[in-house]
């Protein structure tokens, strides 16, 4: 641990202690050494913080420590599997509003990042929004041969990358120290928590990746209705600058303005929920930070407008099918299907009972039917699901954690728009349509095409395998006697024939059985 990392670590500990952040920890469940440490930390707690709630204390401490720690808290909010359901829910309220950096620095940042093309950005406004790692300005783009366009220009904070890496080093040091001094803390996986933050932030610190995310989603939703995203202006994109079309809309949290503009909030809630499910289930690629600050409504069409694509989620075909089947099982009250799918994909060990797991799933699903969104808390539902899966030795799936968090977030926003929202009725068209397509001829053809493509790749490697086998035989020819040489040749031939036979068998199974 370097001196600088040690200093930063102790400074962070002092600020957390002064702001009363350690009161958030469940001291009664911690080992004696950690209890003593928390008791000592609370001795320096400022008296005034005792008047606020524990969550407010933690959020205040993270804000005081700076952008890296704010982002750290927001990242923890996406990992209920690590910090727990309640802590994740509390941290999800951590606001991303930070003081803007000096506007005098803006021209220099743009010039360095974009070169001569920076001059095409004119009438740059004061910061419209300032977040933990970047801020956004409104500007006018005057490209040669094109009409002027209103654009949003997002810029990373100067020095944020260096600040982040320094803070991350101290967090890694603290995590290793915690694991060394308190073996009991290892179950909380502090190093993995920091590694999650590190990976997430490295992605967010390159705005070219955010531009690519917008581009990919735009291709996915080009034929969709009800969900709008900005367009990227690639000539004005760099590692620390992102320029997109300006999106005019009413903040989705401003219900009074929505009502005044005549926006149908019930329809808006349905569009939001269905769009998210369509992106997740159909495309396997979804906006994973759909909090109210990133969502607007188009007053003319009543469509959802989404911005800020710094955090995206991706799930594979198997996970998409799993999600669709789970939702469809809950919608149709087919709890046996829900349970069986958990076993089929290996989420629950085969040593457990499918019937018992189906009964546990029923205990979650039955209270949901016939209820409106006002009566259902998806956060509580997921909390109960985590408890049940722990009872049945189900391991947390990292690829689904961000999806689960995003579903809770979207459900919460939709609920505020329409307290009478029937989640299952709204979800059924999206889930049912995808499942019918997957089970139909088109879905089968796509599956067959994918299988044949993989088999073709495998078959294409056979000549290389033969060449490698012959080379190995020739190298050993001078070292082995004739009988053994014939044995090697016969063994190699048998292996090659078995490989070809396996490929043919797989092709036959795909053609007659519909899959691998």
425-438 tens-digit pLDDT? 888 888 888 888 87
For the four alpha carbons of 55, 56, 59 and 64, in that order, the dihedral sign comes to negative
d(CA 56, CA 306): 28
Most confident of 179-183, 227-231, 317-321, 352-356: 227-231
For all residues of the chain together, what is the average pLDDT? 77
Q: Is the pLDDT of residue 349 over 70?
A: yes
Q: Which pLDDT band holds residue 96 (cuts at 50, 70, 90)? A: low
Q: Is the pLDDT of residue 321 over 80?
A: yes
Looking at residue 132, what is its pLDDT?
81
| Residue 375 a catalytic site member | no
- Find tokens 């200093």 and name the residue: 7
Give, rounded to a whole angstrom, the gap between the first and last alpha carbons of the chain.
51
DSSP string, 319-370: HHHHHHHHHHHHHHT-HHHHHHHHHHTTSS-TTS-HHHHHHHHHHHHGGGTT
Looking at residue 516, what is its pLDDT?
45
d(CA 187, CA 190): 8
Mean pLDDT, rounded, for 30-53: 68
Q: What are phi and psi of 356, to 5 degrees?
A: -65, -40
Q: What are phi and psi of 212, to 5 degrees?
A: -65, -35
To 10 degrees, what angle do helices 32-41 and 3-18 make? 70
For 349, counting Cβ atoms within 10 Å of its Cβ (0-12 exposed, 13-18 middle, 19+ buried), the class is exposed
- Residue 168 CA neighbour count, 13 Å, CB half: 19
Q: Is the pLDDT of residue 469 over 70?
A: no
DSSP string, 258-276: HHHTT--HHHHHHHHHHHH
d(CA 160, CA 68): 8
- Residue 45 CA neighbour count, 13 Å, CB half: 20
d(CA 168, CA 8): 10
Three-state DSSP class for 515? Answer: coil
Looking at residue 446, what is its pLDDT?
46
User: Taking the complete model, does pTM exceed 0.75, yes or no?
Assistant: no
Most confident of 86-90, 130-134, 373-377, 507-511: 130-134
Q: 81, 289, 308, 325: which one is catalytic?
A: 289
To 10 degrees, what angle do helices 423-439 and 317-332 make? 130
Q: Is the pLDDT of residue 445 over 50?
A: no
State the Rg of the chain over Cα. 28
Q: Is the pLDDT of residue 107 over 60?
A: yes
Contact at 8 Å (CB) between 206 and 192? no
- CA 429 to chain CA centroid, Å, is 24
- Find tokens 């990373």 and name the residue: 156
Residue range 378-428, pLDDT digits in tens: 556 656 666 676 678 776 565 566 677 777 778 878 888 998 887 778 888
For the chain, give the percent of residues with pLDDT over 90: 29
């Amino acid at each position: 641990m370097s001196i600088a990392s040690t200093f930063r670590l102790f400074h962070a500990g002092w600020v957390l202690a002064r702001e009363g952040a350690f009161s958030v920890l469940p001291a009664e469940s911690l080992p004696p050494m950690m209890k003593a440490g928390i008791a000592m930390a609370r001795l320096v707690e400022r008296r005034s913080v005792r008047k606020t709630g524990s969550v407010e204390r933690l959020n205040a401490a993270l804000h005081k420590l700076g952008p890296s720690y704010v982002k750290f808290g927001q990242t923890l909010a996406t990992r209920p599997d690590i910090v727990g359901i309640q802590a994740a829910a509390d941290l999800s309220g951590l606001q991303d509003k930070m003081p803007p950096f000096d506007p005098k620095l803006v021209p220099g940042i743009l010039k360095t990042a974009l070169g001569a093309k920076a001059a095409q950005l004119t009438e740059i406004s004061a910061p419209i929004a300032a977040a933990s790692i970047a801020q956004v300005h409104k500007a006018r783009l005057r490209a040669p041969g094109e009409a002027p366009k209103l654009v949003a220009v997002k810029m990373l904070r100067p020095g944020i990358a260096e600040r982040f890496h320094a803070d991350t080093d101290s967090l890694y040091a603290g995590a290793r120290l915690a694991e060394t001094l308190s073996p009991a803390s290892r179950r909380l996986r502090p190093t993995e928590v920091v590694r999650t933050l590190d990976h997430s932030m490295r992605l967010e610190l390159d705005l070219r990746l955010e531009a690519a995310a917008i581009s990919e989603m735009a291709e996915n939703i080009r034929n969709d209705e009800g969900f709008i995203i900005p367009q990227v202006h690639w000539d004005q994109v760099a590692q620390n600058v992102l320029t997109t079309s300006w999106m005019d809309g009413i903040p989705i949290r401003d219900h009074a303005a929505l009502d005044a503009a005549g926006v149908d909030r019930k329809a808006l809630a349905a569009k939001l929920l269905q769009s998210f499910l369509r992106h997740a289930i159909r495309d396997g690629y979804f906006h994973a930070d759909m909090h109210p600050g990133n969502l607007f409504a188009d007053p003319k069409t009543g469509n959802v407008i989404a911005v800020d694509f710094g955090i995206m989620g991706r799930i594979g075909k198997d996970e998409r099918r799993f999600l669709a089947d789970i939702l469809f099982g809950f919608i149709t009250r087919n709890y046996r299907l829900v349970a069986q799918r958990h076993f089929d994909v290996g989420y629950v060990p085969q040593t457990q009972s499918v019937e018992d797991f189906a009964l546990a799933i029923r205990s979650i699903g039955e209270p949901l039917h016939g209820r409106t969104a006002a009566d259902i808390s998806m956060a509580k539902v997921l909390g109960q699901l985590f408890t049940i899966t722990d009872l049945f030795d189900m391991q947390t799936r990292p690829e689904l954690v961000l999806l689960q968090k995003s579903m809770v977030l979207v459900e919460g926003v939709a609920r505020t728009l329409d307290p009478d929202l029937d989640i299952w009725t709204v979800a059924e068209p999206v889930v049912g349509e995808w499942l019918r397509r997957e089970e139909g001829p088109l879905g089968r053809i796509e599956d067959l095409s994918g299988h044949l493509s993989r088999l073709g790749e495998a078959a294409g490697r056979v000549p290389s395998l033969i060449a490698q086998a012959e080379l190995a035989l020739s190298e050993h020819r001078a070292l082995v006697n004739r009988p053994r040489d014939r044995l090697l040749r016969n063994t190699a031939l048998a292996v090659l024939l078995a490989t070809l036979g396996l490929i043919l068998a797989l092709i036959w199974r795909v053609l007659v059985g519909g899959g691998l």
